[in-house]
Amino acid sequence: DTEVTQTPKHLVMGMTNKKSLKCEQHMGHRAMYWYKQKAKKPPELMFVYSYEKLSINESVPSRFSPECPNSSLLNLHLHALQPEDSALYLCASSQDWRTEKNSPLHFGNGTRLTVT
């Protein structure tokens, strides 16, 4: 079992739907991450939050909207997605690099998203 919990595990949505992915950790980590992973490919960084503030956005389309309501929670709001956005979405957390350099990332097992 992982210490980073992602819900739901699977999600099917239409291109006009609005949905949200959720991620929760209780390790006291202050950095949280969203990654996207297509089949047979490595994870690709999307967003990084540090102390609940967005610090990195890897030029992700605006149809993906991250939110960090508190230090334990990270959401990814989805709207008007395309079929090519179907992928495994991974959440991770770590100590913030200003307090502990090279802190390992702890990953959840992801949400498998299918856009129809």
Partner 1 sequence: DAKTTQPNSMESNEEEPVHLPCNHSTISGTDYIHWYRQLPSQGPEYVIHGLTSNVNNRMASLAIAEDRKSSTLILHRATLRDAAVYYCIKRNSGYALNFGKGTSLLVTP
| Binding test (CB under 8 A) with partner 1, winner from 10, 28, 42, 62 | 42
H or E segment to which residue 87 belongs: strand 87-94
- Are 81 and 68 in contact by the 8 Å Cβ rule? The answer is no
| Binding test (CB under 8 A) with partner 1, winner from 12, 77, 98, 116 | 98
| Residue 90 sits in the site that holds partner 1 (CB under 8 A) | yes
Q: Which ranges of the chain does DSSP label H, i.e. alpha helix?
A: none
- Are 90 and 5 in contact by the 8 Å Cβ rule? The answer is no
| Binding test (CB under 8 A) with partner 1, winner from 64, 66, 76, 108 | 108
| Residue 104 sits in the site that holds partner 1 (CB under 8 A) | yes
| Distance in angstroms (rounded) separating the CA atoms of residues 68 and 15 | 24
| Residue 38 sits in the site that holds partner 1 (CB under 8 A) | no
CB of 101 to partner 1, least distance (A): 4
- Coil, helix or strand at residue 85: helix
What is the contact surface with partner 1 in residues (CB under 8 A)?
2, 4, 33, 41-45, 48, 56, 90, 92, 97-98, 101-102, 104-110
